[in-house]
Structure 1
Amino acid sequence: MRAHVELIHEDDYIWHVGELPYGEGKVRERRLSVDEEDGSSSLSLDFPADWGRGGGVPHANTEFYVVSGSLSYGGTELGAGGYVQVPKGVPMDWIKVREGSRVLHWREYGDCGFDPDARRWADAVGEVTVLDSNRMEWTEAPSVGPLTPLYIKLLHRDPKTGFYTRLIRAKKGWTDHRLAHHPCYEEFYTLGGKMAYNFGDIDDGTYCFRPAGVKHGHFIAETDIDWIIRSDGELINWYTTEEWVKWGGHAENYDDHNHDHLPVISTLPVRSRSRGAWTGDGM
């Protein structure tokens, strides 16, 4: 299980040497969210020099999304908005990334292991997906759910599990005052725009990983805003209104009328310094 991360800005995180075995060149990574039990990771990659790797088989469901710069997959050149998904155990072609590029990278249900020039695993399911999202049309989300329309570009969906990756756009003024939670996890990385939110301000480079069942809400889009969003199953919105929390007790030796003295709920999410203090709104 990964920790509840909400919100962090990636610029508050340190760089590590990138874990992309058998690659040649330079790559570094910010670890936005990691599951130390199975190796699942959500990473922001930076390429100080050209980098590349030959074909082989990844040990995890693997995704790349180009934020800026250029990535080539098997000879297909992808700029900002380019997307590659490779199922676990399925051979992938060679990949090259140009110096100065920024790429989001996910590994799901496995670690960074990679077998060069290997054959397809016997139990592998699916095929490689390569997309230029700029060539896709935005489609309006179904009206059931958010109070005002959202727009979607579906990048990948597992037909068996419902696991999906998609781009989401909210227009300026999009709002939903309700609290929602889901039966699946939900994570997002903000590609552009600004939104006021109960966990803190959302802007370019902000990231969230929210385990199943965690409430969130009170959204107001201050500009048009785009995210890349992933969930490990069918995303159903369960809404809460007129929310309340049973929380308290007798204050023995502190002032229970002084906000600075009050205890906080022990399950606070991981936050980074630029997001500032959080009041607990929405929980």
Structure 2
Amino acid sequence: MRAHVELIHEDDYIFHTGELPYGEGKILERRLSTDEEDGSSSLSLHAGADWGRSAGIVHADTEFYVVEGSMLYGGQELGAGGYVQVPKGTAMDWLKIREGSRVLHWREYGDCGFDPFTNLGEASAAASPESAEGVTVMDAGKMEWTEAPSVGPLTPLYIKLLHRDPKTGFYTRLIRAPKGWTDHRLAHHPCYEEFYTLAGKMAYNFGDIDEGTYCFRPARVKHGHFVAETEIDWILRSDGELTNWYTTDEWVKYGGHAENYDEHDGHIHPILSSLPVRSRSRGEWSGDGM
């Protein structure tokens, strides 16, 4: 399991050489969070020069999202908001990230392993027959925002769904909260939740959220007390259906009234969390929300 990361700003993290086998060019990565048990990672890639690699087969569910600049996937150029998802064991086409670009990159249920091939046809012929789901390529800039269901947050949120696994419910989506969006309750979920902030600012019990802040929150960890000081956008991922279980009238440190869940059900009640990983620019934290 990955550590509870809340909050860090990516600028507080050091650069490593990008762990993207068989690539050519210059790519650096900041490791936002990693799972040393299976290799799952959330990374921020920075291209110091053009970087690219051939078609091949990925060893993990793989995603790329362009924050700034552009990348090419199989000849299709994707600017800011461009998104590619490749299921584990599936063939992906050649990829190029242009110099100066910033790209978020995720690997899930596997490590950075990659089997290179001369072209997509050869890679597809060698790919796992179980990898029936194809590659998803999206341009979020051409998508319309849709209002999220009203169940849960007290005021409307807006979404752009980039990908959802039909079997597991694992999804990646963009979330927009309007200025003034607020929720005073504490929530926890049956799945993990991670986000990277693309724009805007929000006051939050774990610290200020602004562009470049990141969170990885394991399942059933409580969080809350949001106030959007400006319109704010995130890219958000969860490894299952995100159900909100709310706690109100919370005690000073832990506990409270279980508003819409059974506090005696060992499968859904919130768990005690150790102190989260936080980066220096987020400042001191009072423990509020725990």
Identify the TM-score tier after normalising by the shorter chain: over 0.9
Aligned to 1:130: 137
Q: Secondary structure at the match of 2:237?
A: strand
CA distance in 1, matches of 2:220, 2:226: 18
Percent of aligned positions with the same letter in both sequences?
82
Q: Does 2:10 align with 1:36?
A: no
Q: Once superposed, what is the RMSD of the aligned Cα atoms?
A: 1.1
Conserved? CA contact 2:21–2:113, under 8 Å: yes
Aligned to 1:218: 225
Q: Give the deviation of 1:123 after TM superposition.
A: 2.4
For 1:20, give the aligned amino acid: L
Runs of 4+ in structure 1 deviating by more than 4 angstroms, as ranges, are: none
Q: Does 2:155 align with 1:148?
A: yes
| TM superposition score normalised by structure 1 | 0.92
Structure 1 residues not aligned, in runs of 5+:
248-264
- 1:29-178 equivalences under 5 Å are 29-117=29-117, 118=123, 119-178=126-185
Q: Give the deviation of 1:127 after TM superposition.
A: 0.6
CA distance in 1, matches of 2:81, 2:100: 16
CA distance in 2, matches of 1:266, 1:3: 10
Change (3 A) 1:77 1:141: same
For 1:216, give the aligned amino acid: H
Aligned to 1:209: 216
CA distance in 1, matches of 2:273, 2:194: 21
CA distance in 2, matches of 1:182, 1:266: 14
How many residues are paired up? 266
Change (3 A) 1:129 1:181: same
Q: Secondary structure at the match of 2:11?
A: helix
- The structure with the largest alpha-carbon Rg is 1
| TM superposition score normalised by structure 2 | 0.90
- 1:13-24 equivalences under 5 Å are 13-24=13-24
Structure 2 residues not aligned, in runs of 5+:
118-122, 255-271
CA distance in 2, matches of 1:274, 1:97: 29
For 1:177, give the aligned amino acid: H
CA distance in 2, matches of 1:76, 1:206: 29
Q: Give the deviation of 1:122 after TM superposition.
A: 2.6
Q: Does 2:249 align with 1:242?
A: yes
Which whole-Å deviations, capped at 9, do the CAs of 1:208-255 have from their partners, x for residues lacking one? 0000000000000000000000000000000000011578xxxxxxxx
